[in-house]
Amino acid sequence: MSGTARRTPRDPSTPTRRADPTGGRRARDSISAVQTILVVDDEPRIAQLARDYLEHAGFAVLTAGDGQAAVATAHARRPDLVVLDLGLPGMDGLDVARTLRRESSDVPIIMLTARDDELDRILGLELGADDYVTKPFSPRELVARVRAVLRRAERAQAPADLIIVGDLVMDVARMRVEVAGRLVDLTATEFQLLAALARQPGRIFTRAQLLDAVHGVAFESYERAIDTHIKNLRRKLEPEPRQPRYILTVYGVGYRLADEPA
- Check: CB of residue 12 under 8 Å from CB of residue 63: yes
Give the model confidence (pLDDT) of 47-89 as tens digits: 999 999 999 999 999 999 999 999 999 999 999 999 999 999 8
CA dihedral over 22, 149, 246, 168, signed as positive or negative: negative
Q: What is the DSSP letter of 33?
A: S
The alpha carbon of 219 is separated from its chain's Cα centroid by a whole number of angstroms, namely 24
pLDDT number for residue 26: 39
CA-based nearest residue to 56, from 145, 139, 167: 139
Give the model confidence (pLDDT) of 185-216 as tens digits: 988 888 989 999 998 898 999 988 888 777 65
CA-based nearest residue to 198, from 213, 185, 208, 219: 213
Q: What is the DSSP letter of 83?
A: E
Residue that wins the pLDDT comparison between 208 and 38? 38
Distance (Å, rounded) from C-alpha 92 to C-alpha 67?
6
pLDDT number for residue 235: 94
| Residue 102 CB-density burial (10 A; 0-12 exposed, 13-18 middle, 19+ buried) | exposed
Percent of the chain with pLDDT over 90: 48
Count of beta carbons in the 10 Å neighbourhood of residue 91: 16
Residue 156: pLDDT band (50, 70, 90) is low
Residue 120: pLDDT band (50, 70, 90) is confident
The alpha carbon of 257 is separated from its chain's Cα centroid by a whole number of angstroms, namely 13
Kindly state the average pLDDT of the residues 214-238. 76
Query: Distances in Å between the alpha carbon of 184 and those of 177, 203, 225?
Result: 5, 23, 21
The alpha carbon of 190 is separated from its chain's Cα centroid by a whole number of angstroms, namely 24
Mutual angle of helices 44-55 and 139-156, in 10-degree steps = 60
Taking 90 as the threshold, does the pLDDT of residue 40 lie above it? yes
Distance (Å, rounded) from C-alpha 249 to C-alpha 148?
18
Residue 23: pLDDT band (50, 70, 90) is very low
Sheet holding 254-257, edge to edge: 205-206, 254-257, 247-250
- Check: CB of residue 198 under 8 Å from CB of residue 155: no
